[in-house]
Every structure is written in structure tokens, then in C-alpha cells.
Structure 1
């Protein structure tokens, strides 16, 4: 009986040491994000773009708020108003958020596939230190630009959940709000974006 208890304590100690090491090194977000990619692969977290009863697909299409000012990774100021007339894919994320990390590879693939003349991406970091988001994006080699909001975010884009993704059509209407992670690198989602042009 004592051998069994001692063996259990050693096993728990090893597990705690592994998780403690991951947490201390900051790799826990990457590991959890990697595991959550498996959930993304099932498609159960994606917005159902065909169903009008899905709360993510907004039927009354309120006008989007274009008053947000942004700074990109190069320190350049960008007014969201400059993107009016394009479809906007806006994703609110943070480097410390495992679901955000999980969906990034798919978002990067989507970014590579869309027509940049008609679709703009705002990958809006809510990290307290924007440099962390810049370093993360560079380390991962993602092609999209990262931004931070200057002077706060309009109320319309406040969410209790990150990641949260918004799609604004070319006429300036908010047509999708998806709270939580999703796989956006799908045929259905690409067609949805094209329909918003």
C-alpha cells in the first residue's frame, strides 16, 4: 500500500513539475493553443453561416463604428475610416489567450487566400504590452499586420470573450460577431467573405 501511495505522489509531482515548467516559461499558452487546434478541426466552434438563427450572423446589420484609431507594428497610425468600402475581418486577440493562439494559423491561411484589394484584416491585440503581440507575430512568421487601439475601442466592439471576430461588409454594416475561437480557413467562410464585397 505504501509503495502505491509513493508511486502516485511521484507521478503527481512529475505532472505538477511539467505544468509548472510550462507556466513559468510561458509555453502553457502555446501548448493549450495547440491542443485547442484539435477542437477547431472538428468545426463545432465555427459560426454557422447558413443559419439565420445563429446569433453570430447579424440580421439587422447595424452600421459599424469606424471611429477607431489604430497603430500597427511599425508604429504607423491607421484610421479605421481608411478601410471603409472594404470587407473588414477584425479579430480581437491576445498572446496570453490559448484559444486566440489556436485560431491564428487558420486566420493566417485565410489572409493569404483573400483578395487584399477588397478585404482588410484588423488583428487587434489587447495585450497590455503591444510589443509582445509584435514579437509573437514576428516569431510565428504570420503574414498579417497586428494592431493596437489608440484611445480605446468603440463600445460596439467590446466583448466579454476573446477571441472575438467581427465581419463588416463593404457597405459598412456589421454582419457577423463570433465570440470564441473558430476556424475561418474554410470554403464556407471564404464564400461568406466574398458575399460581403
Structure 2
């Protein structure tokens, strides 16, 4: 009798926990993996609305100096040295067209871009697609009607930007320090994150 009671208790507990385990598993796959690239936009938008993917505008415990010693190219092929971004707050996002989580967070980045002073807050949407896939990048940005500036590496990237996971976003302060970073699909369209960026401008 006691064994039967225990079994029923375990089964009831499992039924209560199971939906949350499924939700958490789906959340992790969406945020950090491209496995669900084909369906992640619709499914991910539902999860985005829950707030679990909201950016956490907290400065990193130990800030590091950002290495500006590299160049990037805009989609027209014009080379730009990162030195020109010194003295400004920088939102640097590393992404690729084949990355489902990258595509999932892009609408929130577009909304953020439209709400801030882009003269003081620089956006660098750095695509790490293969050079031969440049047209794919252009077509994707055009189809989605994104207006933030998109770049590709002009040559090598410093070790700081050779990340193991994309999307990865770095926030660089005007004095050249990496003050925050986010890994995985993130909702940047929040009042808190906007205020975080604007506070950096005033430093």
C-alpha cells in the first residue's frame, strides 16, 4: 500500500514538473542552438514575450579593455577601422544568417536601434557568414527591412571577438571597456536595457 502511494505521489509530482522541463529545454535549445532554426522565430516569439530572454543590463564584474585593432567592411565593401568608434558607446553583435537564435533576437535589436541616439550609441552588427555568402547576408537584411548597420570582418578579428557561441553581444563603454555581454538569443527591446545604454553615454 505504501509503495502504491509513493508511486502515485511521484507520478503526480512528475506531471506537475514535466511541462516546466519541456519549457526550459525548449528555451535552452532556442537560445543557444540553431537546431530549431526553421521554427524558432514563431516559437521563440512566444517565449520572448514571457521575459525570460530579456537582456540583463548588469555590468560585468571585471571589465576588460576592448581591442580596437581590427577593421570591418560595410555591405558596400567600404573598410572601416574600429578606432573610429572610440569615445562612443558601442553595441556589437556577432551573428550569422544560418544561426536561428541570431535571427530570433534581431527584431528586438531593430526596435532598440530605432529608439536610441545612434550618433552616440554605435551599432555594429557583425556577420560572420562566409565571404562567399555576402549576397545571402544582403538579401536577408533587405527582406527583413532591418536598418541597423551591418558589417563583415575585413581581415582577422581579435581574440575577444572570436567567440565560441553566437549570437554574442558586447557593450563597450566610451572609455573603451567591455562593460556587459550577452550570449544566446536575447530580447534587447526593454526599457531597462535602453536606459543602461543611455547611462553609459553620460559617463
Determine the C-alpha separation between the residues in 1 that align with 2:104 and 2:111.
13
Determine the C-alpha separation between the residues in 2 that align with 1:148 and 1:34.
27
Q: CA deviation at 1:74?
A: 1.4
Tell me which residue corresponds to 1:69: 71
Q: Say which of 188, 192, 196 aligns to 2:192.
A: 188
Q: Which runs of 5+ in 2 are unaligned?
A: 1-35
Tell me which residue corresponds to 1:4: none
Q: Say which of 25, 33, 37 aligns to 1:29.
A: 37
- Kept after mapping to 1: 8 A contact 2:87/2:176: yes
SS at match of 1:196: helix
Determine the C-alpha separation between the residues in 2 that align with 1:131 and 1:80.
23
Determine the C-alpha separation between the residues in 1 that align with 2:182 and 2:176.
17
Tell me which residue corresponds to 1:15: none
Tell me which residue corresponds to 1:130: 134
Tell me which residue corresponds to 2:95: 93
TM-score normalised by structure 2 residue count: 0.76
Q: CA deviation at 1:134?
A: 1.4
Q: Which runs of 5+ in 1 are unaligned?
A: 1-27, 51-56
SS at match of 1:89: strand
Q: CA deviation at 1:164?
A: 0.5
Tell me which residue corresponds to 2:48: 40
Determine the C-alpha separation between the residues in 2 that align with 1:72 and 1:49.
28
Q: CA deviation at 1:186?
A: 0.5
- Kept after mapping to 2: 8 A contact 1:84/1:172: yes
Higher deviation after alignment, 147-156 or 38-47: 38-47
User: Size of the alignment, in residue pairs?
Assistant: 164
Q: CA deviation at 1:30?
A: 5.0
Within 5 A, what are the aligned runs for 1:164-179? 164-179=168-183
TM-score normalised by structure 1 residue count: 0.79
Tell me which residue corresponds to 2:81: 79
Moved segments of 4+, more than 6 Å: none
- Kept after mapping to 1: 8 A contact 2:56/2:193: no
After superposition, the CA RMSD in angstroms is: 1.4
Q: CA deviation at 1:148?
A: 0.5
Q: Deviations over 1:34-92 (max 9, x none)?
A: 32122222221234325xxxxxx312211101112001111111111111111000111
Q: Say which of 163, 166, 183 aligns to 2:167.
A: 163
Does 2:106 align with 1:104? yes
